[in-house]
Structure 1
Amino acid sequence: MLESSALTPARPATSAAYTDGHLAAARHAFSSPDRVALTASEKAALTSATEPPLRHEGLKLARWTLGTGPRVVLVHGWNSRGAHLLGFARPLVEAGFSVTLFDLPGHGDSGGHAASVVHAGRALRALATHIGDVHAVIGHSMGSAAALMAFAHGLSVKRSVHLAGPSSLTPMVKGLARAQGLGPADAAAFAGWVESFIGTRIANVDLERLQHGLRHPGLIVHDAEDRTVPFAASQALHAAWPGSRFEPVTGLGHRRLLVDAGVIARSVAFVAERA
């Protein structure tokens, strides 16, 4: 065995380190969100709305509820937190809804260090089960994708709003592999690691496998110049969802959707339609 292996040129240590480092970076980028603290104004807005943490898969999920009436759940994106959707809360409360915001696993004030769209989808389903009846969901970025997962696995709502969200996991995994400079072999290894981490095939988190859950009216909003989530993801979601309305916007990028008065007003009006 020693002689046989000696005939095979060893990969230089520097090359191995390069590959291992890039794979590690890709794994970290996929699974380890940055934790963002509450600002003083966000803390003040949520002080009277704090609810006991929801226990979920060994973690405590921070949550807040404002107002009374049919329940609307707001779901934040990657490297974000529930408070970043506070701009939607007051208009929804004024329209007669109760609003629940929560921090996804590994984000904000919730427990855990690892996360993914699959973790987020399970957390949303757990929260909805605890609440009992959810009128609508508004999701931004990964929060939108988490909602698609939750709908496909039993969460039923009257309406949902999807702001700049990915609609399939496969292109996101491939895009991250490219961004981290992974070659074909390492990209395949990374994809295998992703499937182990999320506990299912990547294809099971693609729109083709999720679209059966889209049985209610939906509003899709996306900026064509979004540099974080491709505009094509929302185009694909709209094409696969007969009950959806697609409203492209300009000049807002990926995150300014959350503070734009027009987007907020259209989202609230859509949620309130036929409520």
Structure 2
Amino acid sequence: MTTENKLSAVAAADTGAARKPRKKPFLASAIGAVFGFAGTVAPGATAKVVQKLLFTPTRLKPSEPGRSVLAQARAEPHEIDGQTVYYYVWGDSGPRVLLVHGWGGDAAQMTAYVEPLRQRGCQVVAIDMPAHGRSTGKQASVRHFEPCVAHAAQAYGPFHGVIAHSLGAAAVTFALSRGFTVERAVFLGPVSRYDSVWEYSRRMMNLPPKVMPLVLKRAQDWLGITFPEMEPARLAPSMTTPLLIVHDRADRESPYEDAAVLAQAWPGAELVATEKMGHTRALRDPALVAQVAAFAAQ
């Protein structure tokens, strides 16, 4: 059975009807009403506030299993672009696999993959991106994630495989376009098209349509690069790294349709659809974790 077929079997074991849209809680609705009104009467000032909010992650408190696995690693701080970025290393030899978390995540969120990879003889490296986990910083973006992926290659590479989640997958794609190399990659619920991110954010905050272009203009001026220059779906045609994409059909944060666009644009990429795993369950579902680890290590 091929890796794709095995993963498909895992996905099929958890099938079911698509989730119903969640209702916004009262507080979220109230905040949306405030942003909706503010964006109408003062779009410029609202854009300034929204730009800061969108690029300021909330730090997670690691779960107990995640903390336990991190405690077994060598935690090594590195200075990157003025921030202290923490790398975690398990093992001293074997093919190296890099774990890259997404927006609002941390290295602990990826630790379910450590033991399956170690059992396959791999050395494992994970990162707390800037403004995430133990790393310093208050704001971040793909532009801030990418140098940390590149630095991992310099400090710990070369890498045999990489497993990246959500915005971490976008950062890996951006890094690949800038010279990072790896023999194989797995993307879990990847962010593929930024327009979907902006529309999701706009709807969640109830922003008038005219506000988001102002937000993006401010963000691109701050970053010194345009989002199209960093967008995975646009960069994909030039990629040569073998890629497996695992994406849930009901992912609310990153649309499955965008993953299909990425898979079509990335030469040779395979797309495996899951059901009822949402945006983060692929980080901890035992059967799926085992199959993804096997692909990354082979």
TM range (shorter): 0.7 to 0.9
Q: Shift of residue 48 of structure 1?
A: 3.3
CA contact (8 A) 2:43 2:211 kept: yes
Q: Which moved more, 1:116-125 or 1:215-224?
A: 116-125
Q: 1:55 aligns with which of 79, 82, 85?
A: 79
Partner of 1:8: none
Q: Structure 1 residue 243 and structure 2 residue 258: aligned?
A: no
Residue in structure 2 matching 1:191, options 216, 227, 231: 216
SS at match of 2:159: coil
Contact in 2 for aligned 1:80/1:108 (Cα 8 Å) = yes
Higher mean C-alpha displacement, 221-230 vs 120-129: 120-129
Q: How does 1:184-223 map to 2 (within 5 A)?
A: 184-207=209-232, 209-223=234-248
Comparing 35-44 with 210-219, which one deviates more in the overlay? 35-44
Contact 1:152 1:212 in 2 (8 A): no
What displacement does 1:24 show?
4.0
Structure 2 residues without counterparts, runs of 5 or longer? 1-36
The alignment partner of 1:135 has SS state of strand
Tell me, yes or no, if the aligned pair for 1:135 and 1:158 is still in contact at 8 Å: yes
Is 1:45 aligned to residue 50 of structure 2? no
Task: Note the C-alpha offset of 1:97.
Answer: 0.5
Aligned to 2:10: none
Counterpart of 1:234 in structure 2 is: 259
Task: Write out aligned runs for 1:58-207 (5 A).
Answer: 58-67=82-91, 68-207=93-232
SS in 2 for 1:158: strand
Shift of 1:236: 0.8
| Superposition TM-score, scaled by structure 2 size | 0.81
Distance (whole Å) between structure 2 residues aligned to residue 14 and residue 110 of structure 1 = 34
Task: Note if contact 2:100-2:163 (Cα within 8 Å) is conserved in structure 1.
Answer: yes
Where do 1:29-40 residues align within 5 Å?
Answer: 29-40=53-64
Cα distance in structure 2, aligned partners of 1:111 and 1:214: 31
Where 1:113 maps in the other structure, the secondary structure is: coil
Distance 1:261 1:51, change over 3 A: same
Alpha-carbon contact 2:242-2:268 (below 8 Å) kept:
yes
- Which of 47, 71, 83 is equivalent to 1:23? 47
How many pairs were matched up? 261
Instruction: Please tell me the residue identity of whatever aligns with 1:63.
Output: Y
Give the letter aligned to residue 242 of structure 2.
P
For residues 31-59 of structure 1, the C-alpha deviation after alignment (integer angstroms, 9 at most, x for no partner) is 10011233444333222312320110111
Task: Compute the displacement of 1:129 (Å).
Answer: 1.8
**Residues 150-207 of structure 1: CA distance to partner in whole angstroms, max 9, x if unpaired?**
1111111000000001112233234423443333432221110121122201211223
Distance change in 2, residues 1:114/1:176 (3 Å): same
AA at the equivalent of 1:75: V
Instruction: Tell me the alpha carbon deviations over residues 62-85 of structure 1, each in whole angstroms, 9 at most, x when there is no partner.
Output: 121112311101000111111111
Structure ID, larger Rg: 1
1:253 aligns with 2:278: yes
Q: State the one-letter code of the partner of 1:92.
A: L
What TM-score do the two structures reach when normalised by structure 1? 0.87
Does the 8 Å contact 2:169/2:191 carry over to 1?
yes
Q: What is the aligned partner in structure 1 of residue 13 from structure 2?
A: none
- Could you tell me how far apart the structure 2 residues matched to 1:156 and 1:200 are? 22
- What's the secondary structure of 2:182's corresponding residue? coil
User: 1:92/1:15 Cα in 2 relative to 1: closer, same or farther (>3 Å)?
Assistant: closer
* Aligned counterpart in structure 2 of residue 265 of structure 1, from 269, 272, 290: 290
Deviation, 1:251, is 1.0
Q: Which runs of 4+ in 1 moved over 4 A?
A: 13-18
One-letter amino acid of the counterpart of residue 105, structure 1: P
User: Against the structure 1 CA distance between its residues 268 and 39, is the aligned structure 2 distance closer, same or farther, given a 3 Å change threshold?
Assistant: closer
